Amino acid sequence: MENSEIRELQEAILRLKEEKKAIILAHYYQRPEVQDIADFVGDSLELSRMAASAPHPMILFCGVTFMAEIAKTLSPTKTVLTPYPGAGCILADMALPEEIQEARALHPGASVVAYVNTHARVKALADIICTSANAREVMEKTPGEEIIFLPDRNLGAYHARSLKNKKVILWDGYCPVHQSITTESIERVREKHPQALVVVHPECPPEVTERADFVGSTSQLVGFIANSREKSFIVGTEEGTLHQMAKKAPDKELLLPDPVPTCHQMKMITLERVHKALREEVYKVEVEEGIRIQAEKAIRRMLELK
């Protein structure tokens, strides 16, 4: 699409947004042109908080479907729209409700901590939810000595290393995008930029997080780079994050591993689909009420954690 066409579409979306009194929320992994029409761009934790507090009667959620489900779970009376219901998360698909029940039967004393990247029907079976920004705090404050952490084994293992007095039972799930970030894919770039700091998301494999200069959730990575005195960074997470990083730290050199980590599910949300969603008020996100009530309890436990 030509730049002028992009701008026209963006303006049409912004007009419809005003008309419908909608708020547009977007995750950092969205396409840059989609991030630019959002009222708020954030990571999973920030977006959950925003979805819970926004007074707007309509939320258009630009992210994968489990994120839009959270908005609906926390705001059942609002209209929550996803521009494309086919934008799922492969990691979320790695934990099924019946598997949670089996794991609970195997470890009857354990608490279930579910990563935000899960379906509502899985959240409904968890004791508490966490995101990559607060996983350690949630695990630490969860009562009991045993925790079943699902579904991301890398995030679970990363925090389990430093948790004392807790036995963490790891699930065998992973995010293919972050799993594809390897020491080799980073070294390929570092060879040409030996001065660059390596900052990575905790969903990356252990050998990558162990060697990184900084490990953090998406917004923690953005904050670290904006506040750092260093000038050059290799960013081990989904490429979309660089759009906000570049805005917040325009003087920094931002590099991606080779090959570039891209979440194709996140990229299914296009400006055309956002426009259609607002124009036709599709696709409405619904969560079955029994599941919603249970999932809401687990999410609110996280949001209210002291």
Question: How many other C-beta atoms are found inside a 10 Å radius of the C-beta of residue 246?
Answer: 14
Residue 44, contacted partner among ligand 13P, ligand SF4, none, CB below 5-8 A by kind: ligand 13P
- In the complex, the residues that contact ligand SF4 under the rule CB under 6 A are 29, 64, 89-91, 117, 175, 177, 238, 263, 265-266
Least distance to ligand 13P, CB of residue 129, Å? 11
β strands within 171-293, DSSP E: 197-200, 214-215, 232-236, 253-255
Residue 132, contacted partner among ligand SF4, ligand 13P, none, CB below 5-8 A by kind: ligand 13P
Least distance to ligand 13P, CB of residue 200, Å? 11
Residue 217, contacted partner among ligand SF4, ligand 13P, none, CB below 5-8 A by kind: ligand 13P
Considering only the C-alpha atoms of the chain, give the largest distance between any 2 of them, rounded to a whole number of Å: 59
Among the listed residues 151, 154, 155, 144, the one whose alpha carbon sits nearest the alpha carbon of residue 125: 151
Is residue 154 part of the contact set for ligand 13P (CB under 6 A)? no
**Which residue has its beta carbon closest to ligand 13P?**
43
Least distance to ligand 13P, CB of residue 146, Å? 24
- Whole-number Å distance between alpha carbons of 62 and 83: 7
SS (H, E, C) 152-186: EHHHHHHHHCCCCCCEEEECCECCHHHHCCCHHHH
Nearer to ligand 13P, 9 or 129 (CB): 129
Is residue 217 part of the contact set for ligand 13P (CB under 6 A)? yes
Least distance to ligand SF4, CB of residue 178, Å? 6
Residue 199, contacted partner among ligand 13P, ligand SF4, none, CB below 5-8 A by kind: none
Is residue 270 part of the contact set for ligand 13P (CB under 6 A)? no
- Whole-number Å distance between alpha carbons of 195 and 68: 39
Among the listed residues 4, 72, 5, the one whose alpha carbon sits nearest the alpha carbon of residue 272: 5
Number of chain positions touching ligand 13P (CB under 6 A): 9
Among the listed residues 86, 82, 85, the one whose alpha carbon sits nearest the alpha carbon of residue 26: 82
Is residue 218 part of the contact set for ligand 13P (CB under 6 A)? yes
Residue 265, contacted partner among ligand SF4, ligand 13P, none, CB below 5-8 A by kind: ligand SF4
Is residue 132 part of the contact set for ligand 13P (CB under 6 A)? yes
- Whole-number Å distance between alpha carbons of 131 and 140: 14
Q: Collapse the DSSP code of 103 into the 3-class scheme (helix H, G, I; strand E, B; otherwise coil) and give the result.
A: helix
* Dihedral angle sign, alpha carbons of residues 209, 236, 114, 91: negative
Residue 127 DSSP label: S
Site string for ligand 13P, 26-55 (x = CB under 6 A): -----------------xx-----------
Is residue 175 part of the contact set for ligand 13P (CB under 6 A)? yes
Using N-to-C axis directions, what is the helix angle for 218-227 and 44-53, rounded to 10°? 110
Least distance to ligand SF4, CB of residue 105, Å? 27
Least distance to ligand 13P, CB of residue 232, Å? 22
* Dihedral angle sign, alpha carbons of residues 266, 15, 60, 45: positive
Is residue 203 part of the contact set for ligand 13P (CB under 6 A)? yes
Nearer to ligand SF4, 111 or 179 (CB): 179
> Could you tell me if 251 and 229 are in contact, meaning their C-beta atoms sit under 8 angstroms apart?
no
Question: How many other C-beta atoms are found inside a 10 Å radius of the C-beta of residue 115?
Answer: 29
- Residues in contact with ligand 13P by CB under 6 A are 43-44, 117, 131-132, 175, 203, 217-218
